[in-house]
A and B are shown apart, each in its own frame.
Chain A
Amino acid sequence: MTAAQPEALNFECETGNYHTFCPISCVAWLYQKIEDSFFLVIGTKTCGYFLQNAMGVMIFAEPRYAMAELEEGDISAQLNDYEELKRLCLQIKRDRNPSVIVWIGTCTTEIIKMDLEGLAPKLEGEIGIPIVVARANGLDYAFTQGEDTVLAAMAARCPDKASVVEAEKNERNAIQKLLNFGKKKEEVAEEESEYVNHPPLVLFGSLPDPVVTQLTLELKKQGIKVSGWLPAKRFTELPVIEEGYYVAGVNPFLSRTATTLMRRRKCKLIGAPFPIGPDGTRAWIEKICSVFGITPQGLEEREAQIWEGLEEYVKLIRGKSVFFMGDNLLEVSLARFLVRCGMTVHEIGIPYMDKRYQAAELALLEKTCKDMGVPIPKIVEKPDNYNQVQRIYELKSDLVITGMAHANPLEARGINTKWSVEFTFAQIHGFTNARDILELVTRPLRRNNSLKDLGWDKLVKEEAKV
């Protein structure tokens, strides 16, 4: 590889013939995150079959999700949508008594133009359970964007201060007092004073609880208080969002949620790179600090220390190349982190690129490539998997990050692959979890290192036709 001069970011758009998960898959992690919710996917057998197979063993754990499976009578409007949904939602209320029912609109409800947004408030009034509507369908969105549509709909349900009764606030404080019972008064006061005085900050994006704790503590070290998370553990605990609050995203696929928070809730968005990898985490914290006029403490040392701990993994991938086929919108952040680890990125495939929401992340990618002296990868929106496979053959990438549809066939042709969906379900945010990202990225390389002397790296009889 010649030491090509880094150029500016280069965006392309292909045919959109690529493999990804249907966005309704977001119910798989959101029903676990929001503990008092129930997700009702209004669609066909096709949707159900996908969820059943994609979620694997989770399906057997009495999940708080179900299909409202549309039958021929529903499609041809022989049955009344409102009555049908009412019947099912009452059944859900009776069996599970959730605090919220989330309706997931699908391709079919789009095509037959079922007015879910119109039906929901009416039914909500009748059955007494909030109904949130998210149109997470394969016509418009890919995979993780499903979460974006749900959180954007949830953002509208976050209480503003006006609706929070003062008594309740006092009650909360009373509970707080109870919790602090036994602690010395000064201690409580001291706890409060650990924070710098800054406007309220709400973070958005669904993360496993341990990661929420880690990121919250990370900001606490800088004296920044996180007033709330969208989503919280329970629907009834959605954070207060008032005009003028600051918000920051933790994932790159949350552009609709960001837009909703800015336009509908009049919040100020802190546009930062995402806290993926130690470099991303540091940049994320620094950006939040800078908005609040805080000088970050000890971040540089902390980042250096994390990198030190990662060296055993980094040395496995340094100088190697990676190709992202693109299916979950985490690609830019992961590519940026891997460039910092010393890899060359051949291509960043991505389903959808919001250049405004990801602006800071893109800038950091560009800067990282310059710092590391590697060419800036081209970003291919709506990629074409067939063309990509041809490019992979040509480029002979050391690692391809791809969906399961292509992983085994590529492995059989001697190309290392990592299944991209694992990045969505693994804990990858913050300083603490950088190791987990590299654990994933290096796994195929480590495996193949131990097998390399066996001479079985190409296991298909006829080479694929070109």
Chain B
Amino acid sequence: MKLAYWMYAGPAHIGTLRVASSFKNVHAIMHAPLGDDYFNVMRSMLERERDFTPVTASVVDRNVLARGSQEKVVDNITRKDKEETPDLIVLTPTCTSSILQEDLQNFVERAQLEAKGDVMLADVNHYRVNELQAADRTLHQIVQFYIEKARKKGELPEGKTAKPSVNIIGISTLGFHNQHDCTELKRLMADLGIEVNAAIPEGASVHELKNLPRAWFNLCPYRELGLMAARYLEAEFGMPYVNITPMGVVETARCVRKIQQIVNAQGADVDYEDFINEQTLYVSQAAWFSRSIDCQNLTGKKAVVFGDNTHAAAMTKILAREMGIHVVWAGTYCKYDADWFREQVSEYCDEVIITDDHGQIGDAIARVEPSAIFGTQMERHVGKRLNIPCGVIAAPIHIQNFPIGYKPFMGYEGTNQIADLVYNSFTLGMEDHLLEIFGGHDTKEVITKGISAESDLNWTKDGLAELNKIPGFVRGKVKRNTEKFARERGIKDITVEVLYAAKEAVGA
């Protein structure tokens, strides 16, 4: 048992649901107790999704506990097959169903006899993998399922596309700025003269999956999601893949050079050096920013970085290599992939921290007192408590991290966004210190009393006590409205009854 109230990566089924509901016309059925369909709330709220989240639960209740699910799961699958005619239904186990140890595979096989669409069981162990690992595995599983299905039917297309082309693998729902990254990557590919053969899973149809081998190569922008599928495609079809995250000026160039090498090896003749040069010097503002006086002022400032592997590693390199900022420590919560992280960042920071314990991260922040933090929402709150500004760079995230405006982290526009994020975090902190040194914008003593401060009315002890229970940010308004109410009625003493009478009368 472990005492905890915050976790960085969610439970396994969340990963499976993220992948399943990213595809078009794929439905997930969770084998779960009432209340475990919280994923739908998150997707509907955070992504502001207009459509119903294609996830339902086959509810595990007392009866299931006593007698097993019996026909329930099969019925739920075939019912959903009729109602929504999805291409694929993914039966998703949860922590509860893991310990019930029902033969879910058997339910899937029985349901498949009746269902028109395909049915599959997500192969994830709840107690061994987390959200990210499960998402990676599920995407692999779905890709493999449709490749094998097409092969069996002899529908696998032969050969490659005429022009160089790419599959972008790993864009998913509830991923950090994934939609914007996807747009930016497509734009980058277009600039490079590379066709996008498919982008999966977000927005893709499972019927497109058999065409994946037609691409010249795969691009996996995220370390956490897509690599398993890319490795599978490499093993099956000898498809090369690029897993350099194009985040930051240097890494984007490295990614583009790798792409150049891969397509030239397959017979294309491209040279992207001029493009990289043009973008770096004149299109992206980040290279110029790093030479400007603004960025000079950031030299040697202390920062700490924490997040998932992709974002924390890229951010660490950007801060240290491209902006001259001193990264005291960089950390990741992807413990299962810690070696990769260490290898990526060790030369760019003093210390590497691998943990999924938010308390340890909070202490590490307090210990080094950086000028800015780049982390998740949890680190943002630590920053609030310690009065240190924080730029959010990775999940877990809140609704404000699903911006409507265009805010990619990848590609050349991404470098601009990141420069803004970094600069704004640091200047805010600087302003704060200056204000503190010079005593703030305003002196704290109020010299003239406003209308609300002077009062001819007497608040009784109980009235005052009740008033003090009202949250601070509305208390002033409630006090004014109550006094106005009392004055109009010639009430001299404001008791708790008067307070509530005022609320009833005027909505104070």
Contacts and interface: CB of A to CB of B under 8 A. Distances in A.
Interface of A: 16-24, 42, 44-46, 48-54, 56, 59-60, 63, 65-72, 74-75, 79, 84-85, 87-88, 91-92, 107-108, 110-112, 137-143, 209-210, 213-214, 217, 305-306, 309, 386, 389, 403-409, 412, 431-432, 435, 459-460, 464-465
Contact of A66 (B4, B41, B44, B53): B4
Nearest to B55: A405
B257 to A, nearest CB: 40
B3 A45 contact: no
A48 B61 contact: no
Given A69-B1, A139-B62, 16 more contacts: A19-B40, A22-B35, A44-B126, A48-B5, A52-B6, A69-B2, A143-B35, A210-B466, A213-B496, A404-B41, A405-B53, A409-B44, A409-B49, A412-B50, A432-B503, A460-B51
A259 to B, nearest CB: 18
A51 B5 contact: yes
Interface in B34-76: 34-38, 40-42, 44-45, 48-53, 56-57, 59-62, 65, 76
A138 B34 contact: yes
A48 B61 CA distance: 20
A19 B41 CA distance: 9
B100 interface: yes
Contact of B4 (A67, A75, A214): A67
Contacts of B440: none
Interface in B474-508: 496-497, 500, 503-505, 507
Contacts of A88: 1, 3
Q: Which 5 A-B pairs have the closest CB atoms?
A: A22-B35, A138-B33, A405-B40, A412-B50, A60-B381
B84 interface: yes
A21 B34 CA distance: 8
A67 B358 CA distance: 14
Nearest to A24: B35
By DSSP majority rule, is chain A's interface helix, strand, loop, or mixed? helix
A45 B5 CA distance: 10
Interface stretch (B91-99, B261-269, B338-346, B412-420): B91-99
A363 B49 CA distance: 40
5 contacts: A20-B35, A46-B11, A49-B10, A72-B127, A87-B1
Which of B4, B96, B470 has the most A CB atoms < 10 Å from its CB? B96
A412 B32 CA distance: 28
Contacts of B274: none
B224 to A, nearest CB: 17
A403 to B, nearest CB: 7
Contacts of A71: 1-2, 127
Contacts of B5: 48, 51-52, 59, 63, 65-67
B83 interface: yes
Contacts of B42: 53
Contacts of A412: 50-51
Nearest to A137: B33
B13 interface: yes
A139 B126 contact: no
A11 B248 CA distance: 61
Contacts, number: 186
A112 B37 CA distance: 22
A20 B59 CA distance: 12
B152 interface: no
A210 B508 CA distance: 14
B275 to A, nearest CB: 36
B59 A67 contact: no
A224 B95 CA distance: 50
Contacts of A19: 37, 40-41
Contacts of A48: 4-7
A17 B56 contact: yes
Given A17-B59, A74-B1, A54 B52 contact: no
A68 B7 contact: no
A403 B6 contact: no
B36 A22 contact: yes
B179 interface: no
B460 to A, nearest CB: 13
B500 A214 contact: yes
Given A17-B56, A210-B469, A85 B44 contact: no
A48 B378 CA distance: 15
Nearest to B37: A19
Which of A44, A46, A50, A79 has the most B CB atoms < 10 Å from its CB? A46
A465 B85 contact: yes
Given A46-B13, A75-B127, A217-B500, A107 B33 contact: yes
Given A309-B505, A460-B51, A46 B44 contact: no
Given A52-B5, A71-B127, A75-B127, A108 B59 contact: no
B60 A435 contact: no
B96 A107 contact: yes
B45 A20 contact: no
B128 interface: yes
B38 A22 contact: yes
B77 interface: no
Given A53-B38, A59-B5, A139-B62, A405 B44 contact: yes
Contacts of B38: 21-22, 49-50, 53-54
Contact of B44 (A24, A112, A404): A404
B320 interface: no
Contacts of A51: 5
B84 A465 contact: yes
Contacts of B60: 107, 139
Contacts of B32: 138
Which of B38, B57, B84, B94 has the most A CB atoms < 10 Å from its CB? B38
Nearest to A75: B99
Contacts of A306: 504
Contacts of A305: 504
A56 B378 CA distance: 11
A44 B95 contact: yes
A140 B505 CA distance: 43
B7 A52 contact: yes
A70 B51 CA distance: 35
A112 B1 CA distance: 14
B167 to A, nearest CB: 26
A107 B62 CA distance: 10
A20 B126 contact: no
A16 B11 contact: no
Interface in B70-118: 76, 83-85, 94-96, 99-100
A231 B42 CA distance: 32
A466 B128 CA distance: 40
B466 A213 contact: yes
B14 interface: yes
Contacts of A214: 500
Contacts of A460: 50-51
A52 B13 CA distance: 16
